[in-house]
Chains A and B, each alone.
Chain A
Amino acid sequence: MLISVLLIPLLGAFAVLACRSPRLATRVALTIGALEMLAIGNVVWQVNRSGVLTAGRYLRADSLTSFFLINIGLIFGLVLTYSVGYLRHIPEGRFSSPRWFYGLVFLFLFTMVSVYLSANLGLLWIFVEATTLASALLVGYYNTEGAVEAGWKYLIVCTVGIAFALFGTITLYLAAVRAGVNPVDALDWSTLMSAAPALAGMRDLVKLAFVFVIVGYGTKIGFVPMHSWLPDAHAEAPSPISALLSAVLLNCAMYALMRFDAITCRAIGSGFSHTLLLIFGAVSIAVAALLMIVQHDLKRLLAYSSIEHMGIVAVGVGIGGPLGLYGALLHTFNHSIAKTLLFFSAGNVREHFGTLRMDRIRGMARFLPWTTGGMLVGGLAIVGMPPFGLFISEFLILTAAFTQGKYWVAAITLAGLSVVFGALLHHVQKMLSGERTQPPGETATWLPGAPKVLLTDIGPMAACGAALLVLGIRIPVSFVELLRRAMAVLS
């Protein structure tokens, strides 16, 4: 069953690549997407029924997995739907036909899903690295100067970072082996969890391992100062891909880090790893918030906001405790939805105005009422305003921080949130009204004249908005249950 979740996208990728005509490719892609979502739903349901699912020694799905699977399934479905309308803007090029797009996207999906499903930390590493490889071409998809540059930086920086994560993994493995765990499954997560107390003797090694891991996976999560690739990649990739990167990939890496953090806490107590998480989180929030003030490119702005939110999640995990962890998990979910919404609207903006430079975008409210609505909702949500989900999760994390007397982190977070609010408001309010300074499609990559807004451009955004509202007012009980079980996995 777990295999099916992996095979569908993998085979699907080649299936899509096989079909020549764009329309056919699109249809096939949608079908496979639907299938995949069904498979994921099935897995989630199974996990819900019988705690843990395993397939062989290397595949495993527990509640934490299924929580993130829901996240990935939801976002992926939205992205797929949105892409249908979006792709019509992308000119034919060497690799830039729908089939390539969908093919690569499915590969990307495959790697990410396998990250969630791998039971073995080594395998986990392999697939995290694979996500980089699979998405690099998507980042460079437009094949423009910027795209290539961003792609290169993304590839190199992430690979180097991830290499360190490998080193960390090995160190942990070493510690486990030295602590007497059978080398064959000394990388198996559940084994490690149960054997963690025995690792206490290898204090130094475990610490070393976590340092390398947090730097390694931190690079992928986008912790400052390893974040450098993130704004470039998010800004240069096609909007649906940006959404995937920000809303799914970052969570993926964060998931890996959480797994390691759990083991480390079990082994040597939470002091060390949580301090590191708090430091990285706080620094990321502060730096990202400040950098948001001076951005000119809409998607770059959103990318920095992603860094900030990953920082918040890190703070949540670092504070720990049921409240902090709950807030952190919930925040990953809320953030991914809000960010997807924002990237979709950014995509529409780019298609309409042919640019993402915010000083060139004027009169959005008049020309793109729907997109403007989406951007407003997303913006309000992303800065943590009620009645949207992020208000809840941020409030949870702050509550946790204050409960445990972590005042400095709370202070930095609150200050950061205010700065972010100011920055976003400052940039967005300028775009809403006024006269546009250039004809549409001047540098637009598609047909000039009034743009025809398809349902697929708006529908996903509406869905995101609804989801945010629900999560902000009344979180479904079953979902809360799932979250609780996911937390139970980690602690």
Chain B
Amino acid sequence: MGLVHFAAEKTLASSAVLLFITVLMMAAARRISTCIMLFAAQCAIITAQILAMAYVHRSPEAYAIAGFMLVIKVLTIPYALSWIVEKLKAPRDVTASTTPAQSVFIVSALILLSFFAIGPYMQVLRVDEDVLAAAITLVLTGAFLMVSRTKALMQVIGLLVLENGIFLAALVTTFGMPLIIEIGVLFDLLMGVFLMGLFVFRIRDTFDHLDVSKLRKLRG
């Protein structure tokens, strides 16, 4: 019993650091599949955290959410994404407009920024500072990935990371929203990923490439 509690405490304590590590690695990653794995790991960490919180606060809802999280984000979405990667038979490297080193630097800068950003709200919120910072970091990193990675799939992943951040923020600040809302959000996410996958194939079919930065016929 004590052991579980101990684990929960540890998880809550260390999850932030782990999340920082995942985003840094994601920034450095050269292959899409790696990013997918990292994303899966990220979601796993968050799930673990939810479980821990559920345990600490004794809230059945949180367990349910954790369950959905596990099924949808940790298993389904990463699997679907890597399936797409397989199916596309397209070059699998992330074509970034910044070198890995630069990316890492930028992301670490973003981490600092997020600490700076939440500063003024801390006294209002009274929550675990570095987890909230991690959440903001995820949001910012997601945004950064979407802007800097030109592969369609990478944009999807960036979006997912961003969404993860928001999800985490909601979690740490409010211990989760009403269950049905959470479920709906996750469902939307699933549908979104599905649609984006569809579009990725359409892009491949119509343009013979996946580089969204080349989609510039419509402008002005």
Which residues of A come within 8 Å of B, CB atoms? 58, 120, 122-123, 125-126, 129-130, 133, 136-137, 140, 143-146, 148-153, 155-156, 159-160, 163, 166-167, 170, 173-174, 177-178, 183-184, 187, 202, 204-205, 208, 231-232, 235-236, 291, 294-296, 300
Q: How far is the CB of B60 from chain A (nearest CB, A)?
A: 14
Q: A140-B202, A145-B206 are in contact. Are A174 and B173 (CB under 8 A)?
A: yes
Please pick, from B120, B169, B199, the residue contacting A151 in the complex, using a CB distance under 8 A: B199
Which residues of B come within 8 Å of A, CB atoms? 120-121, 124-125, 139, 143, 146, 152, 155, 159, 162-163, 166, 169-170, 173-174, 177-178, 180-181, 184-185, 187-188, 191-192, 195-196, 198-199, 202-203, 206-207, 212, 215, 217-218, 220
**Residue in A closest to B215 when the chains form the complex, CB atoms:** A149
Please pick, from A58, A204, A235, the residue contacting B124 in the complex, using a CB distance under 8 A: A204
CA distance A295 to B220 in the complex (A): 7
Tell whether, in the assembled complex, residue A202 and residue B195 are in contact, meaning their CB atoms are under 8 Å apart. Answer: no
Tell whether, in the assembled complex, residue A148 and residue B203 are in contact, meaning their CB atoms are under 8 Å apart. Answer: yes
**Residue in A closest to B196 when the chains form the complex, CB atoms:** A155
CA distance A296 to B155 in the complex (A): 30
Cβ contacts under 8 Å, B174 to chain A: 170, 173-174, 177, 183
Q: How far is the CB of B190 from chain A (nearest CB, A)?
A: 10
Please pick, from B120, B177, B199, the residue contacting A155 in the complex, using a CB distance under 8 A: B199
Q: A151-B199, A153-B215, A204-B121 are in contact. Are A159 and B220 (CB under 8 A)?
A: no
CA distance A155 to B139 in the complex (A): 18
Q: How far is the CB of B158 from chain A (nearest CB, A)?
A: 9
Cβ contacts under 8 Å, A167 to chain B: 139, 166, 169
Q: How far is the CB of A189 from chain B (nearest CB, A)?
A: 13
Cβ contacts under 8 Å, B170 to chain A: 170, 173
Number of A-B contacts defined by CB within 8 Å = 117
Cβ contacts under 8 Å, A300 to chain B: 220
Q: A152-B203, A170-B166, A173-B174 are in contact. Are A122 and B181 (CB under 8 A)?
A: yes
Cβ contacts under 8 Å, A184 to chain B: 178
Considering the complex of A and B, which 6 residue pairs feature the smallest CB-CB distances, nearest first?
A: A122-B181, A126-B184, A170-B170, A232-B218, A149-B215, A129-B188
CA distance A260 to B115 in the complex (A): 28
CA distance A140 to B218 in the complex (A): 13
Cβ contacts under 8 Å, A144 to chain B: 206
CA distance A146 to B216 in the complex (A): 9
Q: A133-B192, A160-B146, A170-B173 are in contact. Are A146 and B218 (CB under 8 A)?
A: yes
Tell whether, in the assembled complex, residue A163 and residue B181 are in contact, meaning their CB atoms are under 8 Å apart. Answer: no
CA distance A163 to B199 in the complex (A): 19
Q: How far is the CB of A72 from chain B (nearest CB, A)?
A: 21
Cβ contacts under 8 Å, A150 to chain B: 218
Q: How far is the CB of B145 from chain A (nearest CB, A)?
A: 11
CA distance A120 to B212 in the complex (A): 36
Please pick, from A126, A173, A183, A205, the residue contacting B188 in the complex, using a CB distance under 8 A: A126
Q: How far is the CB of A76 from chain B (nearest CB, A)?
A: 22
Q: How far is the CB of A448 from chain B (nearest CB, A)?
A: 26
Tell whether, in the assembled complex, residue B215 and residue A152 are in contact, meaning their CB atoms are under 8 Å apart. Answer: yes
Q: A153-B218, A205-B121, A291-B220 are in contact. List 11 more A-B contacts (CB 8 A).
A: A126-B184, A126-B185, A133-B191, A148-B203, A149-B217, A153-B215, A160-B146, A167-B139, A173-B177, A208-B121, A232-B218
Tell whether, in the assembled complex, residue B218 and residue A236 are in contact, meaning their CB atoms are under 8 Å apart. Answer: yes
Cβ contacts under 8 Å, A160 to chain B: 143, 146, 159, 162
Please pick, from B166, B178, B207, the residue contacting A163 in the complex, using a CB distance under 8 A: B166
Cβ contacts under 8 Å, A235 to chain B: 218
